[in-house]
Amino acid sequence: MSSAEAKGENGTQISKMAKMSGDASTLDKIPPDTLSKVQEHLKCFHLSLEKLQVVSARLRKDMVRGLGKHTHHKAPVKMLPTFVRATPDGTEKGDFLALDLGGTNFRVLHVRVVEEEQKVLKMDSQICAIPKEMMLGTGEQLFDHIAACLSDFLVSQDLKGQTLPLGFTFSFPCEQKEIDKSILIHWTKGFNCSGVVGKDVVKLLKEAIHRRGDYDIGSVAMVNDTVGTMMSCGYKDQSCEIGMIVGTGTNACYMEEMSNVKRVEVREGRMCINTEWGGFGDDGSLKDILTEFDVVVDETSINPGVHTFEKMISGMYLGEIVRLLLVRLTEDELLFKGRASKALLTRGKFETKFISEIEEQDSSLKKTQNIWKLLGLKCDAVDFRVVRLVCSAVSSRSARLCAAALATIANRIRVNRGLDRLKTIVGVDGTVYRKHPK
């Protein structure tokens, strides 16, 4: 949970998100000639405040396009209505099931909420893996797997025979028609299951459960992971009106004035909008800040030209950006004595979690030996500091872009309400946010 304060056009201050890259202890121990050459390679990752303000202004325009009745279909930032009209008020109670699908694993949960104590009394969960081949297989295989894991969980919790309401977090771009009807627009984050795009994913889940015939579920509420994050944070603090994910992918949602949501007939009150900001730049508006490494990452992904902003920020791609940079520095004999290993030259071998381990405050060559062993690299003290500098440049750019986008949303809420100053809470989740040390 983070706080965001919007003051004027570009005054949003965000904790944890904007620490500068390249601490002095790292820079001091790299030979000056090597350092200047490395920094030249990293220069394209350093975004000035002025450039971030330009990025924010572009996103602001795209958000307006996404909300428009006649412009949303061409908008890269989809601004999808969620039909969630309010954040929790603490009176919620009962037993609920939850499914959280948004990456290579998905979670099944049983939650018990008690109104009197305004807290979650019980929360049991189970993590289920999704095999790589299933991510690229048929939709029926995927949903049958989800239904099977849910069945196993119900048995383990002694819930078979009960019909409980289910919250379904499906973290892919969807056109939500109703709270229990959501059409997949396209896959992201390494998924490309056939027979799902253009279909109602709630219906596909129910059909998979009915095919089994050994249990049933009650009403289904379909939410994006950003909405779920905002709602769970809002249960503890009612001033939370923004949700943000920085994990395998990245996205955000916020409470928008209904008068601005032109695609829904109701004009009073507010509605949570799923921005799908990962698609920002898909129309080419971010070409001036894309590096050659970003271009390669996009071209070699399973969805070229899609989710440009996400590919500069999220855990699915940060490791690959770093790997490409390390290959270039090795080719220029600035790393590893110019000798690249087979693993370093292999796409996907430098994992994003390595970035977090290398950037830990007490990280050292000795503590990261396992990384170099996995990559088949002989890494000395200077190599380690150069790699750390590269990781810091890539992760800092990610943080600054997130901060600029979050500032855009906070300022939109402030302007919508005619305020000089807005203080709000941001619910934040995702593996990159939780595990990255800075």
Q: Annotated active-site positions, please?
A: 189, 225
Give the tokens for residue 45.
């990752």
| Alpha carbon 273 to chain centroid, angstroms | 16
What's the angle, vertex CA 121, arms to CA 120 and CA 127, rounded to 5? 75
The one-letter amino acid at 322: V
Residue 20 DSSP label: P
What's the angle, vertex CA 311, arms to CA 24 and CA 50, rounded to 5? 55
Residue 258 DSSP label: G
Helix axes 32-42, 381-416, angle to 10 degrees: 30
Count Cβ atoms below 10 Å from residue 202 Cβ, excluding itself. 23
Give the tokens for residue 8.
């004027």
- Taking the CA atoms of 133, 252, 395 and 436 in sequence, report the sign of the dihedral they define: negative
- DSSP-assigned states of every residue in 341-357: -TTTTSTT-S-HHHHHH
Beta pairing class for 421-429 and 240-246:
parallel
Task: Determine which helix (DSSP H) or strand (DSSP E) holds 51, and give its type and residue range.
Answer: helix 49-67
As a whole number of angstroms, the distance between CA 358 and CA 365 comes to: 9
As a whole number of angstroms, the distance between CA 81 and CA 264 comes to: 8
CB within 8 A of 189, min separation 6: which ones?
A: 102, 103, 171, 172, 248, 249, 314, 316
- Helix/strand number for the chain, H first, E second: 14, 14
Give the tokens for residue 432.
């990159």
As a whole number of angstroms, the distance between CA 293 and CA 300 comes to: 11
Q: Three-class SS of residue 67? A: helix
Give the tokens for residue 366.
């000795």
Instruction: For 429, list phi and psi in degrees, rounded to 5.
Output: -150, 175
